[in-house]
């Protein structure tokens, strides 16, 4: 065992958080937690994970679930392609492996939505193999530990971090080692205001020694996010039935949204509603909402509109039962009750 590993594991044994996925080595449950933890903090993930596992406790139940069910369970986590890929992977595991999770790098990476990190995490955490799993937390620890100035968005640099990490993995406790280094990055070796005085490996950290923690990890600046301007409608029919559209676009496929059109002109947007078959009785401006995606920003001017709907369109009773995109669920949660009483 390396000195780095021994200090890290001793710290982890005393300081690890009590997270629900740490009480199992079921590869299905580890996989669910790892996919949920992509782009999302652990404290946010906990209730989603518990609800998902309670509803879909096995790879078989996920494979057989209706898409609306899995989208509803995922509602609020965003990046919905993750859960769609999970169901495709569950179907593959059931068909190709009789529901038994594979444990080799090649087999895992052949499955939809499982890349090098997730494959490494499953192998390490669930199967206790010496496998390197480099996420944002681990890359932060390693780049500071070794004072690496290279751009971590480059695949070659991530590969180098894997090579640095592999000899550090403890032979006896590879699962604990992976969880420990992730935990260190999440709670101590933080992106901003790292708690270096609480770090068990600060004495070997080159960035700490040279006071360069804030410079690492280095990542080249991204292009500015594209901004889309929408006129977004809360449409209620004469019986106060809410009108939602189910999306077929790749970004939010399968989710329900309020009717909206990319425009800054209310007149143009109302004409679009008429073309959709609605008779507009009156409209009222609500306010502007903004929702930030990974590469995109939606700027939404929201209007309440009373309509007579075409017979071909059904209104929604309780919108809470539908899988609704977070951008629009926030609008409904804040505005709909007051509009219903008008």
Which residues are tagged catalytic?
34
Find the angle CA(275)-CA(245)-CA(312) to the nearest 5 degrees: 60
Quick count: other Cβ atoms within 10 Å of Cβ 240?
Answer: 13
Residues 6+ apart with CB under 8 A from 249: none
173 SS3 class: coil
Residues 6+ apart with CB under 8 A from 256: 244, 245, 246, 247, 316, 319, 322, 323, 324, 325, 328
Cα 3 from chain centroid (whole Å): 34
Element (H, E) at 121: helix 116-121
Alpha-carbon distance of 62 to 60, in angstroms, equals 5
Q: Which two structure tokens, joined as six digits, stand for 6?
A: 């021994």
Handedness of CA 154, 160, 163, 164 (dihedral sign): negative
Rounded to an integer, what distance in angstroms lies between the CA atom of residue 294 and that of residue 287? 23
Cβ 9 vs Cβ 176: under 8 Å: yes
Nearest CA to 25 among 170, 174, 132, 175? 175
């Amino acid at each position: 065992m390396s000195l780095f590993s021994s200090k890290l594991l001793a710290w982890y044994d005393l300081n690890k958080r009590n997270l629900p996925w740490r009480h199992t080595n079921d590869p299905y449950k580890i996989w669910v937690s790892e996919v949920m933890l992509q782009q999302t903090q652990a404290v946010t993930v906990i209730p989603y994970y518990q609800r998902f596992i309670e509803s879909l406790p096995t790879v078989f139940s996920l494979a057989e679930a209706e898409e609306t069910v899995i989208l509803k369970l995922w509602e609020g986590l965003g990046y919905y392609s993750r859960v769609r890929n999970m169901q495709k992977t569950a179907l593959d595991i059931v068909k190709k492996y009789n529901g038994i999770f594979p444990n080799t790098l090649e087999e895992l990476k052949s499955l939809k939505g499982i890349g090098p990190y997730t494959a490494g995490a499953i192998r390490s955490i669930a199967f206790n193999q010496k496998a390197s799993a480099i996420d944002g937390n681990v890359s932060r620890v390693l780049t500071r530990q070794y004072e690496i100035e290279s751009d971590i968005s480059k695949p070659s640099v991530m590969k180098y971090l894997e090579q640095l990490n592999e000899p550090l993995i403890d032979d006896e406790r590879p699962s604990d080692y992976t969880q420990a280094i992730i935990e260190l990055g999440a709670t101590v070796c933080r992106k901003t205001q790292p708690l270096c005085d609480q770090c068990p490996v600060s004495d070997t950290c080159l960035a700490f020694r040279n006071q360069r923690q804030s410079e690492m990890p280095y990542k080249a600046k991204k292009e500015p996010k594209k901004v889309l301007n929408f006129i977004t409608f809360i449409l209620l029919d004469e019986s106060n039935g809410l009108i939602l559209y189910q999306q077929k676009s790749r970004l939010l496929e399968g989710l329900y949204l309020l009717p909206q059109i990319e425009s800054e002109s209310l007149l143009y947007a109302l004409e679009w509603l008429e073309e959709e078959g609605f008779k507009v009785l009156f409209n009222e401006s609500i306010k502007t909402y903004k929702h930030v995606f990974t590469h995109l920003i939606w700027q939404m001017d929201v209007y309440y509109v009373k309509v007579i709907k075409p017979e071909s369109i059904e209104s929604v009773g309780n919108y809470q039962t539908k899988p609704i995109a977070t951008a629009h669920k926030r609008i409904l949660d804040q505005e709909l009750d007051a509009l219903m009483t008008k």
